[in-house]
Amino acid sequence: MSPELIKEVGTFISAYSDLFTSASCSDSELCAEVARKVGQHYRPGVTFFTGGKISRFETQEEATKLVETEMRKNVTLKLGTHLKLLQTKKIESYSSTSALCWLGWQFVPQKGSEHEGKDWKFTNVYGYRAASEGLAAGWEFVLRDEEVESMFAATGMRFDD
């Protein structure tokens, strides 16, 4: 496994996860800007796999729109969208330019929510691709089953409906 690729992926993960700790994540007026920044971390063609559903986005703008929709739904539900990266569980290089990444997250419901203090944890698996062919580095896919399942177990709600 290339130490350079692992370092690159680690830096990318830090920048990505930092976006979800902002207070703006739980503000209906500001979450669009956060979603735009999150969307910049997805490569064109990114695919989300969620409980058997497959969502593919040909452009970063399409992915950004989904992220914003999901963030706004969580804000409307009074959950917010504050995530903490608990751990990079594993980074496994697949090639010299790609890696699989297991990221452990904790969802922190916003203050005043009926779920405040009832955080939940989940792991998503991401496919990373280094910059190539004029495209910036980014996620090519995300496996999000645990994210949806853990939210439902904790709240009885789903963000992917």
Q: What digits encode the pLDDT tens for the residues 98-134?
A: 999 999 999 999 888 899 999 999 999 999 999 998 9
- List beta partners, residue 132: 135
Is 80 exceeded by the pLDDT of residue 153?
yes
pTM of the entire structure?
0.93
Q: Which residues pair with 91 in a beta bridge?
A: 101
Distance CA 88, CA 103 (A): 5
- Of the pLDDT bands very low, low, confident and very high (cuts 50, 70, 90), residue 1 is low
- Domains belonging to the chain, first-starting first, are 3-155 (3.10.450.50)
The length of the chain, given as a count of residues? 161
List the structure tokens of 86: 């608990």
Provide, for the chain, the percentages of residues in helix, strand and coil under a 3-state DSSP scheme, each rounded to the nearest 5.
35, 35, 25
Of 156, 88, 93, 98, residue with least CA distance to 130: 98
The percent of residues in the chain predicted with pLDDT above 90, rounded, is: 73
**Euclidean distance between the first and final Cα of the chain, in Å?**
38
